[in-house]
A and B are shown apart, each in its own frame.
Chain A
Amino acid sequence: AQKVTQAQTEISVVEKEDVTLDCVYETRDTTYYLFWYKQPPSGELVFLIRRNSFDEQNEISGRYSWNFQKSTSSFNFTITASQVVDSAVYFCALQRTGRRALTFGSGTRLQVQP
């Protein structure tokens, strides 16, 4: 069975602080995909990143960066110099190769204070 754990229920930071959101997953598959989505207060789901399990290179996109560690089954997400607009719930998700369903974590609510 697949499982995604986001142990941080809620994080509050002050603007310009760096913040890391943790994601730990469980799967018996050797190939799989990992995702991060953002859900702002308006409620829609915004795709942030998709990572293949074979690709352990860290990725940076502007203020966002992702650290994939297959040895610890973690796919952590860091926001550098956070902004108020980053306030949202962030979800990590896992997809088995050959299956279409995503398994989501329970989400981390990030509150960025001005």
Chain B
Amino acid sequence: NAGVMQNPRHLVRRRGQEARLRCSPMKGHSHVYWYRQLPEEGLKFMVYLQKENIIDESGMPKERFSAEFPKEGPSILRIQQVVRGDSAAYFCASSPATGIYGYTFGSGTRLTVV
């Protein structure tokens, strides 16, 4: 009965490279959410996805960031041409389609851009 699985736990990228962060939701959960936590700050909502659909991307930066949740496989948060300011912890959460709007968070991916 695994929880939300995120990998990798730590990711180091050089400026200009691409970062791919993966999130496998809890079994039975079809909704995925991505949040970013900058150092010494709270979490900021980025995007909410259902299978093959982006429902709310109001928190996504307009450039270089994209997210997907394909029919099969994990959700991917992709950051192109990373910059130092992208260094942060990225958390994924999942929830079921119906019922209370509770979340289960993953352990996060710590991205460091050098």
Q: Measuring CB to CB, which residues of chain A are less than 8 angstroms from any residue of chain B? A: 4, 6, 33, 37, 42-45, 47, 50, 91, 93, 95, 99-107
Contact = CB atoms under 8 A, between A and B. Distances in A.
A100 B110 contact: no
Nearest to A97: B101
B69 to A, nearest CB: 13
Given A91-B42, A91-B43, A101 B33 contact: yes
A102 B43 contact: yes
Contacts of A45: 43, 91, 105, 108
Interface of B is mostly: strand
Interface of B: 31, 33, 35, 41-45, 48, 55-56, 58-59, 89, 91, 95, 100-108, 110
A107 B102 CA distance: 20
